[in-house]
Amino acid sequence: MDTEGYRDHPVRSYVLTGGRSRPTRNTLRPETLLCTVDDGRELPSHAGRHQHTLLRTCRGTLALAEVAAYLRLPVSLVAVLASDLLDGGFLALRSTATHDLPDTELLEEVLDGLRSL
């Protein structure tokens, strides 16, 4: 069934995250930029295939929402996976700002950037 953006499907998210529905950190937003840390370390043997795919996908910088779209998983689920990988040092945050609102200077730069598109 697909009606105006709704579609029914079974939930499997909590299985993939070991039963957890919340990430270990709450600073990850859909636009948070992520990048794989390329230091030659291997993921622990218990890591799942989604963790492996996530790290392969983030060999260049992407936002959390983009990773979720490429992995075909919900953002909330990928936030849990990404949090674990950040905690383990396999993934790094690329964007540093965690302010509630973008500051004036940033807005001015965005405006200039848009005007020169």
Partner 1 sequence: MDSAASDPAGTAPARARHLAATVKRSVKVLVVGPFGVGKTTLIQSVSEIPVLSTEESITTASVGVDRRTGEKSTTTVAMDFGRVTVGGDTALYLFGTPGQRRFWDLWSGLADGAVGVLVLVDTRNLADSFEVLDQLEDHTRLPLTVVVNEFPGAPRHSVEEVRTALDLPAGTPVVSGDVRGRPRAVQALTTLVAHALEQRARQAAAA
Interaction site with partner 1 (CB under 8 A): 4-11, 13, 26, 28-33, 49-50, 52-53, 56-63, 65-66, 68-76, 79, 94-97, 99-102, 104, 106-117
In this structure, what token pair is assigned to residue 55? Answer: 């790290």
Nearer to partner 1, 18 or 74 (CB): 74
Phi, psi at 46, each rounded to 5°? -85, -5
Nearer to partner 1, 71 or 88 (CB): 71
Shortest distance, position 21 Cβ to partner 1, whole Å = 10
Cβ pair 17, 11 in contact under 8 A: no
User: How many alpha carbons lie under 13 Å from residue 16 in its C-beta half-sphere?
Assistant: 20
Shortest distance, position 31 Cβ to partner 1, whole Å = 4
Classify residue 57 as exposed, middle or buried by CB count within 10 Å of its CB (0-12, 13-18, 19+).
middle
Nearer to partner 1, 6 or 44 (CB): 6
In this structure, what token pair is assigned to residue 49? Answer: 């295939």
Shortest distance, position 45 Cβ to partner 1, whole Å = 15
